[in-house]
């Protein structure tokens, strides 16, 4: 079976349908689309938890639970993004590279991740334009933001299609950039493995 590279329009349509239906939406089968679906699912869960974490009318324990859920969902979202890149790069590994062959600083997986987030922003900003309890000024501001978000998503869709087309032609390539979320790793976060020593001056821990 020949591998079919995803079209940005198909990915965006899947993102929109999954949000509207509140769960799994119809999509192509295979490991790549499984990873795209996982990434989008955890972005949706992250969105909901981020809203909940801003509440001021609940106990601190509830907010702490939201923050822990955010950490877990974010790790799984990043894992799915890297899986997308792994699958695409495996399919591109036999493509001979032209000289010169530009290196893209952003991976295809990270662009798909951003498309997922933009789908959520478009949907929720759209809901703001439909509110009957908000002022006309609020509606107008949200409508302007909605149009800008839609424009940004179209730009990103075009960039993703161009990147994958160039990669298949050997004119471009990208690498996986691992996130290494140190705060989620009990062996790397000093607050979890028990170290009380502060980091050396001038160093970063993330």
pLDDT at residue 179, as a whole number: 78
Q: Residue 130, Cα to own-chain centre: how many angstroms?
A: 26
How would you class 2 by CB atoms within 10 Å of its CB: exposed for 0-12, middle for 13-18, buried for 19 or more? exposed
Q: Quick one: pLDDT at residue 183? A: 79
**How many other CB atoms sit within 10 Å of the CB of residue 98?**
13
The predicted pLDDT at position 204 comes to 46
Tokens at residue 104, please? Answer: 């893209």
Structure tokens at 73: 């969902």
Task: Provide the residue ranges of all domains of the chain, joining segments of one domain with +.
Answer: 8-180
Contacts of 152 (CB under 8 A, 6+ apart): 118
Q: What tokens were used for 36? A: 């795209």
Question: What is the mean pLDDT for each group of 10 consecutive residues in the chain (206 residues)?
Answer: 85 95 81 96 95 92 93 94 97 95 97 98 97 97 98 98 97 90 82 64 47
């Amino acid at each position: 079976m020949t591998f079919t590279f995803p079209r940005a329009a198909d990915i965006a349509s899947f993102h929109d349908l999954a949000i509207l239906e509140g769960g799994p939406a119809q999509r192509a089968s295979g490991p790549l689309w499984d990873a795209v679906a996982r990434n989008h699912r955890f972005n949706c869960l992250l969105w909901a938890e981020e809203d909940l974490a801003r509440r001021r009318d609940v106990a601190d324990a509830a907010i702490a639970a939201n923050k822990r859920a955010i950490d877990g969902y974010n790790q799984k979202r990043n894992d799915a993004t890297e899986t997308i890149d792994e699958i695409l790069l495996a399919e591109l590994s036999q493509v001979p590279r032209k000289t010169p062959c530009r290196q893209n600083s952003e991976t295809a997986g990270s662009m798909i991740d951003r498309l997922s987030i933009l789908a959520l922003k478009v949907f929720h900003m759209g809901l703001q334009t439909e509110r009957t309890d908000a002022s006309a000024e609020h509606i107008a501001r949200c409508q302007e933001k909605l149009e800008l978000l839609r424009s940004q998503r179209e730009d990103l869709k075009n960039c993703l299609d161009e990147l994958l087309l160039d990669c298949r032609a050997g004119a471009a390539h990208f690498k996986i950039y691992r996130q290494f979320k140190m705060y989620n790793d009990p062996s790397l976060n000093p607050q979890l493995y028990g170290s009380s020593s502060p980091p050396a001056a001038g160093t970063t821990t993330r």
